[in-house]
Structure 1
Amino acid sequence: MKKKTLRLALFLMVLVIAFISCKDDDDSTSSIPVRDRAEQQLADKDSLLDYLSSHYYNSAFFETGSDHKYSDIVITELAEGETVPDGHALLLDVVETISVVFLDVDYEYYILRINQGGGESPHFTDYVRTRYEGSVVESGDVFETISTPEDLPLQGDGITFFGSIKAWQLVMPSFNTATGFTTEDGIVNYQNFGLGVMFIPSGLAYFASSSSGIASYSNLIFKFELLQYEEADHDQDGVPSYIEDYNGNDDVSDDDTDGDGIPDFIDTDDDGDGVRTINEDIDNDGDPTNDDSDGDGTPNYLDEDSTQSNQDENS
């Protein structure tokens, strides 16, 4: 998953195009007016809680056996006057409620955690291998089904590919990948992987934008399997992208050490000193973050006063 290094002018031009066209952006190109995010979240919360209090799932099915699939999760609406059948659980009674601040708005989303998974957890910037089904809360319609494992970027670079919706960046790192896999007759079978369902408000999904099968301001449901992940280094500078979230706000787009308009995670020269970040790995151990030539506590690749290069030493 190597990415090409682009010059600043090209980056800025394409970034403007990406900003205008990205599905997450509030400025929808449709005629639907953009609503206030805080007000929409209140409406979305009511819709989600109504759904969770009126639907149940087949909980007993997952008490036996192992390595269940997302397709085994059956969510059913309560009929009028009906009580939750034996072997099932009302969603509202079993989901986890998670609060997060996004774009200065307090959001709530909900997770049905069926299996945590026994492997490692991805970071919000990584690539994940997953199977899933997405549906719309309001209509119940399924808009996408991925039954064959697919690799998806949680974080896009805004140029060559776009990332997932915010909810996926929040939920996937809270699960673990599979502990391993076997291959038989060309079919890969994963063991003890993360399995769950996320119920998310429109503000953590597409908000005012629309997509195929998804109307503006739709609340979404994803049944999913987290199978594997790959740590991302978007600019191939030797520093994993998640580390370049220096202010710790789970957003790498606002970390720009040299102020050149290019976020560090896609900037091959983070400190703007003319030495590529990868070349400021002086000890050539594959990790530029532990090289501090002048001992001032700032690694060379973030210190514009340290211009030593491993290319100079090797020449």
Structure 2
Amino acid sequence: MNKIKNIIALAIFTILIYSCGDNNSLTVDNFDHEAQALIDNDSLVSFFKKHYYDSTLDSVKLLTSGKTALSEDANLKSIDVTENDIDYILYYYVNRIGNPEPVKGFPTVMDSVLVKYSGQRILKTDSLSTTFDRNNGIWFTLNSVIRGWAYSFPKFKGGKNVTANGPITYENGGKGILFIPSGLAYRNVGNTSIGANENLLFYINLYDIIENTDHDNDGVASIFEDPDGDLDPRNDDTDGDFIANYLDVDDDNDGTLTKDEDENGDGNPANDFSDPNNPDLPDYLNPDIN
């Protein structure tokens, strides 16, 4: 099996929630991302000691007497993340997990989500920028956004669509705040709105999700197009054609579309095994079966 080596950092900056373009120049990156990850975490920890969540204003504010610092707030959670061989700590604040109707689970890192958000830059350790971007409702897939979002949104669930007449409205959706180190955002590149190595804060509402999103409509949900089992389908390329399986309509390049390699006709090519010499290899990944 061929694997796409080291996801190109700039590729993850093709984020749907920003209109700004990215620098696509393929230059050698000698930046010390490991050291920056440590700097980012120190900055975030310091920020948490100096700020609290104001439930009345629904915003993060400078700490005042009698308030609980974010660093001591039980609603502030963390995730250990390894991305491109660099270890990060990602933080998120939970106002509400979410209570979807009809019942749905947590989104995966490949699912489509409907969200509302607003973003600010964390300046040094004691202040925030004005809002640099916001959207009151947009669909995107978690494989196409900054990695901090991809890892954070699976900690929340959607809500219930209560739309009657007028704008689409949801209630009881996931609600929280994301604190993203620069290495899981725009890294040492930045863009026109965000400087290099800047940590970010996002207020988010998760309204709805599409479970088991299938990007290439081949009958296999994108999250399951992960033959190496590392939970990152972006780096799996069975036929070595530089198209990740989750975007490849013919995963083994045998001339038969993946969706047509469904011997038992149940609509799921992933459970068809016709090769006695490779009994654990599904037909859609087996170039000897078409």
- Fold in common (TM above 0.5): yes
Aligned to 1:200: 180
> 1:56: Cα distance to partner?
0.7
Q: Is 2:142 the partner of 1:154?
A: yes
Aligned to 2:31: 35
> 1:27: Cα distance to partner?
7.8
Aligned residue runs from structure 1 range 70-85, under 5 A: 73-78=58-63, 82-85=64-67
Name the SS for the 1:221 alignment partner. Answer: strand
Greater helix content: 1
Unaligned 5+ runs, structure 2: 1-6, 15-21
Does the CA contact (< 8 Å) of 2:12 and 2:147 recur in 1?
no
Provide closer, same or farther for how the CA distance between residues 21 and 56 of structure 1 changes in structure 2, counting only shifts above 3 A.
closer
Does the CA contact (< 8 Å) of 1:122 and 1:128 recur in 2?
yes
Letter in 1 for 2:194: I
Q: How many pairs were matched up?
A: 262
Superposition TM-score, scaled by structure 2 size: 0.83
Aligned to 1:113: 94
Does the CA contact (< 8 Å) of 1:34 and 1:208 recur in 2?
no
* Mapped partners of 1:73, 1:285: distance in 2: 48
* Mapped partners of 1:182, 1:27: distance in 2: 41
Q: Is 2:265 the partner of 1:265?
A: no
Provide closer, same or farther for how the CA distance between residues 247 and 73 of structure 1 changes in structure 2, counting only shifts above 3 A.
farther
Task: Tell which structure's C-alpha radius of gyration is larger.
Answer: 1
Aligned to 2:197: 217
Calculate percent identity across the aligned residue pairs.
Answer: 34
Give the counterpart of 1:93 among 72, 92, 105.
72
Q: Is 2:227 the partner of 1:246?
A: yes
Alpha-carbon displacement from aligned partner over 1:87-133 (angstroms, at most 9, x marks no partner): xx321112112211111111111111111112321111121100011
* Mapped partners of 1:203, 1:281: distance in 2: 41
Aligned residue runs from structure 1 range 131-150, under 5 A: 131-138=116-123, 140-141=128-129, 142-146=131-135, 148-150=136-138
Give the counterpart of 1:57 among 23, 41, 53.
53
Alpha-carbon displacement from aligned partner over 1:269-298 (angstroms, at most 9, x marks no partner): 112222110110123322111222345232
Name the SS for the 1:184 alignment partner. Answer: coil
Aligned residue runs from structure 1 range 160-171, under 5 A: 163-171=144-152
Does the CA contact (< 8 Å) of 2:12 and 2:145 recur in 1?
no
Unaligned 5+ runs, structure 1: 1-17, 62-71, 156-162, 308-315
